[in-house]
Amino acid sequence: MTIEESIIDMGWNFDNSFASLPKVFYSKTKPTPVPTPKLVILNKSLAKNLGLDIEGLESAEGVEILVGNKIIKGALPLAQAYAGHQFGHFTMLGDGRAILLGEHITPKGDRLDIQLKGAGKTPYSRSGDGRAALGPMLREYIISEAMNGLKIPTTRSLAVLLTGKEVWRETKLPGAILVRVATSHLRVGTFEYISNWGSEEDLKILADYTIKRHFPNINLANNPYLELLNAVIKSQAQLIAKWQLVGFIHGVMNTDNMAISGETIDYGPCAFMDTYDPKTVFSSIDLSGRYSYKNQPAIGKWNLMRFAHTLIPLIDKNQDRSIGIIQDAISNFTDIFQSYWLDGMRAKLGIFNKEKKDESIVKRLLELMEKNRADFTITFRDLSQNKVSSHENDLYSTREFIQWYKSWQERLARQSETTESSLQLMKNNNPSIIPRNHRVEEALDAAVDNGDFYVMNDLLNALANPYEYSNYQEKYSNPPPCTDKPYMTFCGT
């Protein structure tokens, strides 16, 4: 099968700035055509925001485009080169099964990458088949859209399509492609790659490109590369604080899975925590708990150090001075993170102003939640609805909790806002639902095993508005039935 260029205008508007970068950044690679593509889910509200014609996308020609059988007019498909520290070890990677079609410019003028994940082999595929299975692609669709509903920066999912070709994992599975939308796919690993295999000029080109694309407000007159580092530190601190505040565990925070834009990227073995336990880790391959819930901020900082390292030649001509500067910048991460996290926790507890002892109020609650194995989301949801009678949860009838509750109420009484506004602030910051693992699995089973997408669509509708406290959300908010087996996730390959 040969690839032809589509001439139908569906609202696509490509402009490929990444493709104009030096050749070391990528390999021009086209998607490998698939036999019988079928659209299984299209994100209509995202398509509308992108200025795309929904009927066009759903047409036979639209599907051929979304699956990579036809190339959108103006697109310049390529696989991006990158490296990464995987579980601490440095490796050369690159898009092994994803192809960037290029950048779509939305009617509002936003520049967004359109990437096909699972679109066939690339020069970076190593021993992989370049393909993806339906289950993991739908899982990324659900979790990324849930993150967007939770107002957490994330790559988005425009569509999932069946390829008509099976893939072999441990068994035969239906093959699929995810159409991913991102403000860019620049990763910490992109900088690591250029720093190792490109020239200093290439590195400067990458840094300048990143500033222009993501941080246009950086004052070029100062030290722009130090400002870039500070901006990335800030956006990562903010992102990871948001993860912690909803109990999200990324699962594989390798440097190739950390986007410079500050969006959550690469949903592999990620999951949301039910019972509050800071040691929670879901990924079956994370035997040492490197990427556990409580380690996420520290790993974020470690990854940022890898990023900072690549900038040494750009920040100061004197290497020793440059190293001193980046160490100072990175050492600020902990305070910046802590400040975002504490502000977020204050909002989760209905606190508007700042008092010195706020942190101890938050920490005491978390301690009691851990000790009593309370559900993270439900505890904050109950507090937001003032539903803390003892029958709701064992935690609420303990003497320690009753004491904590009293000190929290006294704290709230010391601010001028009304109880109603506190409860509203809490509802705006405590999701009534999260994509519970058992609900996600139920939706995936129905879709993958039976071709039934009703369960998934219903779940997605609820997850689109997680800060609403309606009956619709309520039905999805229960924790999983008790089980002895810990929930395990597997890399989305």
Binding mask 377-416 for ligand AMP (x = CB under 6 A): ----------------------------------------
CB 47 to Mg ion: min, Å: 25
445 is annotated as an active-site residue: no
* Alpha helices, H only, 275-398: 296-310, 312-315, 319-331, 333-348, 358-371, 376-384
Check residue 131 for interaction with ligand AMP (CB under 6 A): yes
Answer yes or no: are the C-beta atoms of 188 and 307 closer than 8 Å: yes
Check residue 27 for interaction with ligand AMP (CB under 6 A): no
Compute how many other C-beta atoms are within 10 angstroms of the C-beta atom of residue 219.
8
- Rounded distance between C-alpha atoms, residue 46 and residue 40, angstroms: 16
Retrieve residue 53's tokens. Answer: 């014609």
Which residue among the candidates 95, 113, 202, 256 is catalytic per the annotation? 256
Interacting residues with ligand AMP between 235 and 274 (CB under 6 A):
252, 256-257, 266, 268
Residue with tokens 């609805």: 385
- Rounded distance between C-alpha atoms, residue 352 and residue 411, angstroms: 11
257 vs 283 by CB, closer to Mg ion: 257
Retrieve residue 146's tokens. Answer: 């849930």
Answer yes or no: are the C-beta atoms of 264 and 239 closer than 8 Å: yes
- Rounded distance between C-alpha atoms, residue 420 and residue 152, angstroms: 25
185 vs 427 by CB, closer to Mg ion: 185
Check residue 96 for interaction with ligand AMP (CB under 6 A): yes
User: 240 touches which of Mg ion, ligand AMP, none (CB within 5 to 8 A by kind)?
Assistant: none
| Nearest residue to Mg ion, scored by beta-carbon proximity | 266
Retrieve residue 466's tokens. Answer: 């997680």
User: 439 touches which of ligand AMP, Mg ion, none (CB within 5 to 8 A by kind)?
Assistant: none
Check residue 130 for interaction with ligand AMP (CB under 6 A): yes
185 vs 214 by CB, closer to ligand AMP: 185
Residue count at the site for ligand AMP (CB under 6 A)?
18
**Of the candidates 13, 106, 125, 230, which one interacts with ligand AMP according to CB under 6 A?**
125
CB 448 to ligand AMP: min, Å: 17
CB burial of 298-333 (b: ≥16 within 10 Å; e: otherwise) equals ebbbbbbbbbbbbbbebbbeeeeebeebbeebbeeb
Interacting residues with ligand AMP between 76 and 95 (CB under 6 A):
93-95
Answer yes or no: are the C-beta atoms of 23 and 47 closer than 8 Å: no
Beta-bridge partner residues of 174: 166
Binding mask 221-260 for Mg ion (x = CB under 5 A): ------------------------------------x---
Retrieve residue 11's tokens. Answer: 């609202």
Check residue 133 for interaction with ligand AMP (CB under 6 A): no
130 vs 435 by CB, closer to ligand AMP: 130
Binding mask 253-292 for Mg ion (x = CB under 5 A): ----x--------x--------------------------
Q: Is the dihedral of CA 69, 72, 76, 77 positive or negative?
A: negative
Retrieve residue 69's tokens. Answer: 């059988």
266 vs 382 by CB, closer to Mg ion: 266
- Rounded distance between C-alpha atoms, residue 314 and residue 326, angstroms: 11
Among the residue ranges 128-136, 292-300, 325-333, 375-383, the one whose residues contact ligand AMP (CB under 6 A): 128-136
In this structure, what is the dihedral angle of CA atoms 291, 293, 298, 304, given to the nearest 10 degrees?
60
User: 182 touches which of Mg ion, ligand AMP, none (CB within 5 to 8 A by kind)?
Assistant: none
Answer yes or no: are the C-beta atoms of 160 and 134 closer than 8 Å: yes
Residue 69, phi then psi, degrees to nearest 5: -70, -30
Site residues (vs Mg ion, CB under 5 A) = 257, 266
Site residues (vs ligand AMP, CB under 6 A) = 93-98, 125, 128-131, 252, 256-257, 266, 268, 491, 493
Indicate which residues carry an active-site annotation: 256
